[in-house]
Amino acid sequence: MTRLTIYGDFNCPFSALASVRADVLRASRAYEIDWRAVQHDVSIPAAGEPVEGETRDMLAREIRDITALTTSDEPFELRVPSVRPNTAAASAAFAASGQDSGLRQRLYAALWSEGRDIGADDELERLGASPRDHDTAAAWQQEFDALPQPVTPSLILPDGYVSRGLGALARLAELATFDGHGDEGREREP
């Protein structure tokens, strides 16, 4: 089984698509997915920030771009949320929950499909996002910050090669089209 490490932020719509693609790879049983929840924008206040004006327009553009990248077999719906959450608590909750808990999928759906504020403690409680492992989340964040050009999503291949952003999404889609042998013949990104 091939192990893939993915760094993604719950408030990043590109990471939401990476999450869907990671689940496809995991279901193939050819890949072990090590998802590491991080914050790509640590400047978001603890209470989050309203999505309006330029931020709303930017997210709407990103969602249109992401929708254009999806295939017909990727059941995926994104909506612009009303709040851009600080995802530190969600990351710590995911770190405590384990890879197989389904929490990653619930957090992405809550924010991007249902418009819920996953930065709020009461919302995290409703999603079953407790307890919290702040130490593991902090270690993931340090690893992510140390990457050259930290962008979400970032995909680390078994040989240590780092694929970022749209390149990571393309690589995940490419790997899903193979029968567990997606690394053969791949070209390096610049």
| Domain 2-176, CATH class in plain words | alpha beta
- Tokens 């929840």 belong to 37
SS3 66: helix
| Cβ contacts of 20-28, under 8 Å, gap ≥ 24 | 20/74, 20/75, 20/76, 21/74, 21/169, 21/172, 21/173, 21/176, 22/172, 23/105, 24/74, 24/176, 25/172, 25/175, 25/176, 28/176, 28/179, 28/180
pLDDT at 75: 75
> For each of the chain's 190 residues, which pLDDT tens digit applies?
899 999 999 999 999 999 999 999 999 999 999 999 999 999 999 999 999 999 999 999 999 999 999 987 887 889 999 999 999 999 999 999 988 889 999 999 999 999 999 999 999 999 999 899 999 999 999 999 999 999 999 999 999 999 999 999 999 999 988 644 444 434 334 3
> In the prediction, which pLDDT does 180 show?
45
Contact in structure between 177 and 24 (CB atoms under 8 Å): no
Q: Tell me the backbone φ, ψ of residue 21, rounded to 5 degrees.
A: -70, -35
Q: Where are the alpha helices (DSSP H) in 9-164?
A: 13-27, 53-69, 88-97, 103-112, 121-126, 134-146
Q: According to the model, what pLDDT value does residue 73 have?
A: 82
Query: What pLDDT sits at residue 177?
Result: 83
pLDDT computed for residue 179 by the predictor: 46
Say what the pLDDT of residue 186 is: 41
* Per-residue model confidence (pLDDT) at position 178: 67
